[in-house]
Every structure is written in C-alpha cells, then in structure tokens.
Chains A and B, each alone.
Chain A
C-alpha cells in the first residue's frame, strides 16, 4: 500500500510540474492578441491556410464555428474511409495486408475521427504502414485538435462578451501546430530513448531458442504512441495496445504515457481559470475532477489488490492481488492507475485487460466513462464538466433565491434546452443500443462470458463508444456488421451532438451581459461549489447508470464473493 501511494504521489507531482506550465502555454497559444509565439509558428500556419485555401480567419458565431468543424471532420472521414478501403493497392504495404471490409472501415474511420479509437481490428494484421502513418496518426492529431478547439472556443465565449466565439480553422490549426506537434515530437524522442521502436520495417524475423523462426511485427511505433496519448486517442499500433512490450516496454514509458494523456485534460481547467480571469474557479474545477479521480483510483486499486474473490474463497493467496490480464512489469498499482486514467481521460489505451478486472475494479472504468467528465477526452471532457457545472449552478443557484448565473451569465430556458440535449444523449446512446443488443442474436452472439459478465461486456462496448473512449472488454467478438455499424453510430452521436449543443450554449452565453458579483451571488469558486459539483455529477451519473451496473459488475461481484 505504502509503495503504491508513493507511486501515485510521484505521478501526481509530475503532473503538476507538467500541467501548470502547459496551461500557461495553452493560454498564450490561443490568445487573440499577437504573442511571441506568432513569430515562430505563423509561417507554418500561413502555409497551411494557403494550401487549404482558408482565407477568412475572422471570428464567427457558434453556428459557423460548428459548420466549419463538421465540414473539416466530414472531409477527413471521407478520406479515411477511402484509405482503408484501398490500402491494399496503396504503397507502403510490405505486409501485403488486404483492403478493409466496408462496415469495419466505417467503424474504424469514425472511431479515429471521433477521438474514440475503438478498434475492431488488430493493428498488426489489419492496417498497412501507410494507413498506420497517414490514417491513424493523422486522425489522432485532427480529432484531438477538434476537441481542443471546442474547449478553447467555449472558454473564450465564457470569458468575453460578444457575438462570436472564435474561428474554427484558426483554433484547429493552432492546436495542431502549436500544441500537439511540438508535444508529440518531445514525447516521441523520450519514448524512443526508453526503448520504443520507430522504423518503417513491417517486421523482423528472429530465430527463437528452440530454433524456430518467428516474425515479430514492428513499425513506426513511438511516433504513434506519443500522439495516441497526447491526443487522448488510445488506438494502439498492436492489438493489445500499451500492454505490448514494444508500445510500452517499461515503467518509465508507462509513466511517460500517463503524463502524456493526462497533461492537456489537466491543464485545461487551469487555462480556463486564466482565460475567465478567475484562477480560483479553474482550480475548483480541477480539484473536483481530481477528487473524483482519486476516489475511483482508490476503489480500483483496493479491489485489484484484494484479488479475485472467487479464487480467494478457494484458499489461493491474495498477496499478489488479481494479476490476471496484467503485466508483471507494471504490477497492480500502475495497472490500476493506467485503467483509471485511460477511462477518466477517455483515452482508451490499455496496459492491462479490462475484461479481467475484478468486478468491483471494473466499476471504475465503467463509472469514469459513464460520467465522461473526470478530466475527460481532449477538450470535450472539460466542456462536459462545464455543462455539469452549469447544471449544478442551476439547481443550487435557485436555492439562494436568484435566477441561476454562471460567470455572471444567467442560465435561462434556451441554455437549459441545449444542455439537456447533451445530458440526454449520453445515456441514450449507451442504454438504448445495449438494450437492442440484448434483444437480438446479432448482439448476444458476441458475448464470450454469459451471465452478468456478458452484460458488462456489451454495456462496456457501448459505454466506451459513447464516451469516445475506445477501450474494450476484449472478450466481446465485436468485428461483425452489427457491432461495427451500431458502435459507429454511437461514436458519431456521442461526439458531435454534445459538441454542437455545448458550442450553442457557449454562443448563447457569450451574448449575455455578465451580472456583477455581490453578496447575493452564488459563488462558483469555492469548496462549497466543488462539493455541489461533485454531488451533481455523481447523483445524475449514478442515478442514470446504477441499475445497469447492478445487473453487471455488482451482480457478478455478489455472485462470486
């Protein structure tokens, strides 16, 4: 326990060291004013604008911003689909990998475009070097940049009064050029330094100790690994993702990956505090997320450390904890941490198999994806938290006898209508398709463990797709048209409905004259608000998903203890 606490504290400390300066950098990078960064980055950006034919960089309202966002994403989706369908004919295919079939191509293209990276294929055998590099790696940048742009636009709208929320293309290009690319270069170099391969060779052939020959898959792994985490994408180069010794060879690379996927989601609330000129409020939001995260981390760590109740009952020693599906080089603490973080930040990368988590342990990835706002995916997670903050303000704000206001802006029917769209869509796309899956053989046939665990498998798949996480309860045989199409639709809805609804909320709030703060104002920058926000997130989340969790992990736990 002491050892684990020490490891957790070390990671937290390093997070602060990375996130605080990064937050300042984000603030600077997206500033409306001319900054010293412009001199260095502008030439690259101008080049991109010229190539893409983007001439107008004026700020736009939320509608135009959303249209630009959808247009850019749809164009990439089309290109990605074609690349996957034709990869066999394109160069850089030394492994002679075939074209991907249509429903899997749809699923995969959507998956990477929506920052989900749900993989119904295995990277080694499903993708060519070209598609790994152009499709996977490019989409990892663009989807992360989309999320980041949304977060910045929403924060910008809350921090100023006017009709516009920003220019999508400018935010998008800046996110790639100023944030993601430089970070990716740094992280890649670190990863290579600690043993992650980076080569254009598809495989290497070795002679084993027994004298047999064996083909070992290789490729440009390190570059993909870096953006996979920085962009909270999660799609692995290999099927088993960051549990693979080439993706994540040791504890140092594991730590690097943790920090890489955590740094931007953790920096955003701090950047937010700077932009709305209320740093305390930024820290309250950060604290809220960290508090929920630490509770979840404690739950999963204790559950995994306690071991599998069924085996313990048979008299096996639980001293090692439940190591099934975990890598010895990470052990219980770093596996638990990775699982909690990858679902909190909705990265979806895994260094252990979530399918073999103990039932109580598996409640943690479920819970974090169902909440979808504890740090959350690149940008969108933070925007989700803001949505919950507005809800909390609405409920609690009435109790001080005033029309609820957030950052001095009144929350009125229009905002409420938009917010509930985002609130409704999440349970709808998780529970609805799950119910459908259980009603048809197309769904239930994929389940590899019947009973309560089967419920977990199915619900996990849609939760992961809905939260744009991408991790899986890998026992599920999900590469079928039913799963490819259903999860594809869920990913699309999960991503864009809430993004657009929340951009609209921002567009509406930015036009309101902020009310100055008085003694009668409900403050949103103190511990009381933090507690109310935690309460709102947990109660609304728990009330929505409690029954299905009772039938899945909780019933499984009760039946094997």
Chain B
C-alpha cells in the first residue's frame, strides 16, 4: 500500500476507532494524534515527490469493480498541484483542531469522527485519478459537513445545513451524469466502460465540440457551486455563518478549493477546447463575483458573513487565474488557493476565538478591542493584511500573479478582466480595514468587553504556524511554486498551444523508490 492510501485510511480508521472513545478528552487527544500522524505522512509523500516532473506520481492502482464490460479501479496519484492541496488539508486540520480545542462541549467524539471523515474525503478528492472514486469522495464530504453544521451550528443551522447539502448535491448529480456519459463514450471506443482519468483524457478531446460543451458545463456547474462562483454563491454565507468555527475553517480553507481544483483538473484537463471557448463566460462571472462579493462584504454587520463574502471575492480571483490559462494565472491560482486557505482559515479561526469569549458576531458589539487584547489584535491584523494582499505577505503573491495572468491571457483577449478585478483588491482593503477599525481600534465602546481575555498559549501555538507560512510564501513564494510549476506549466502550455500534448496527461510514472 502506498503513501496516498495510507493518508486516506488513517482518518477513516481513526474515525471508526473513535466509536470506542467515551471520554471527550481522550477523543480529542486521539484525533489530534491521528491528524498529526496524517500530516507527518503527507510530509513523507512530499519528500518522495519529484517536483521536476509534471507526471502523476506516487500512483497506486487496485482493481475494484470488473463486471461485464465495466471497469472501475481504485487509482490515486498526485501532481504538484494536488500535493500542495493535500498538504494544505492535513496541515489545516491539525491547526483547526488545536485552535478550536475548547470551543465545543457537546458530543465531542461524534464531532471528531465527522472531522476525520471529512479529512479523509478531502484528501481522497485531491488524490483520485478515477472519476468514479473522485465522485465518491466528493459526495462523502457532504454528510459529515451536513452534520457538523447541523448539530454544532448557530441558530439557523438547519436551514444552512440543508441548503449546503442540496446545493452541492444538485451540482454533483449533473457531474455524475457527465462522468457516466464520458464512461460510455470510452466504451464506444474501447468496448469497456471506464472512469479512469488517463483513459478518459484521450476520449474526451475527440468528442464533438457541442458534446464537449455540455459536459464542460455539467462539470463546471458542480465545481462552480462548490467554489462558489457568482450566481451560485448564496449557500456560502449561510453555511459559514452558522457552521461552528472548525467547520468554517475547513469549509473556507479546504472545501472551496475542491471546486477550483476540479476546474483545473477536470474542466481544463478533459475539455480544453470547450474551456477556451467558455473562458470568457466563466471569467466574467468570476469578475462579477469579485466585485459583487466585495461590495456586499462592505455593508455586512456580521463579521463571519463579512469574511464569507470576502471568500467569494478571493475565490473569484482564483477562477479568473484558472481561466486565463496562462502559466502565471494557473500558478497564481494555485498559490492563491493555499493563501486563501491560510488567511481566511485564520480569520475564521481567530474570530471563532473571539466569539467564544463574547458570543456575538456583530461588529457593533465590539470596538477598541485592541486595547484589551493586544496579542489578538496583532495576529488578527496579520491575517487581515494577508487577506487584503499586502506585499510581503502571501496574499499579494497570489493576487498579483492571477491578475498578471489574466492581463497577458491570449484566451481572454481583454485587459478589462484584470482592470475590473483589481478594483476587488482595493475594495478588499476597504471592507477589511474598515472592519478592523470598527472591531479593534478606537475607544472601548462596551464596558463589558473589558473582561475579554487575550490569546492563550494554546491559541498562539495554533496561530504561529499559519503566520510563519504567510510570511514564508510572501517572501519566498518560489519554494512553494516550484512544487506546482512543472505540472501547471505543462497544462498551460497545452492549452495555449505551446506544446501539442501536455506531458502530465498521458504519462503515469511508477512510484518513486527512495534508495537510501
């Protein structure tokens, strides 16, 4: 068994073992150990990964279903982009767990089991190279997330949980239809119904363009809901506001990335021509999302909602970067996925810490908090500035690259995408700085706030790694971009016609054996 299967299995088995944990503290400690081990294993995967190659690596393939003329296999493997997202997942789960250690008190073993299931699903989504397997992991996420929001959420938790569930399922059913369609097309060519991504890549590109177009939209609908892209974003604020802190962190940090990951891996990968043809439509929606999300964020009085709408903006940048299809755009999009996971995850987590103390989400209930909790104010400022895109911190790198990519894009043909989206950067400064000002600065408006406690050691421990990565990516982005570079460059070159065929698509290399 390879390292990727181990990564998926550890959380699954741990979740099952949690059934025997009757004590809350034992359950939490066990989960922490489990996620730390998973993180460690993901670092092992990183160490075995050859960043110089654009091919899928650490591959594993096991026979699963072979019935009649149907062949579905368990195939996992990563390229640079998916490896980064796996690392983000394993890292953020540990951080979120430490950061929200005491924030919930009821049914802890169940919560921990659901989080581990969620983690297994997220890792599985990023590793699957078989569309049937991908779909299973994609749907596996729904149920834990539904219960995390539904049981541990805020006042309108049921509404938010069901809305999340229904939106996502609606999209994914069309993806399922598209997957089956592709499998049947493969069956016409080879005689075997298959959902193997490598085999489908050869099939999908030779389909008639109108069929490619339908399938492109069937996949895009599912991913656009997850991202969420502009008209389909309405589930996000509800889900974020009502979810418990750990749910919000993982939702913003990782779950949304599943959508953008899918757009790169499946939409661009399977239907290059349809992607180029539809790039302007998707990019327009992304730009609308950037501006709309920012404008709505400005007027929010609820901090969690404000951060949620800022997510819509940030994810818009990522989608714009993806559909620019340039090397810079794709690189920027990927680095921005990591950035958004770190900075928005940190914003949600920090606000969760404040919520535990004050139990209010309204900005007006705070004011001048910086005087009372100076450490909190400093960390919150870093997260906020990273989200704004201050040079020197990570957000700047991602936004700059996506905008540059969109500017140079030969697919989009227009500067307007970049010009209009750059207003999103300015507006981000408006809503985030203004929020920070009303939240943290100025005189203390509520006397009751004077009793708020500053960050505890545990909370600082959970925040420091995030800050380290924010600064690291801000100063030395190449350390991270090198991992994703070869696979994304190959994809971009294939799309923009610099090379005939992307290397990564047709080539699977055997798992690298480390010789000591």
Do A and B interact?
A: no
**Residues of A participating in the B interface, judged by any CB pair closer than 8 Å:** none
**Residues of B participating in the A interface, judged by any CB pair closer than 8 Å:** none
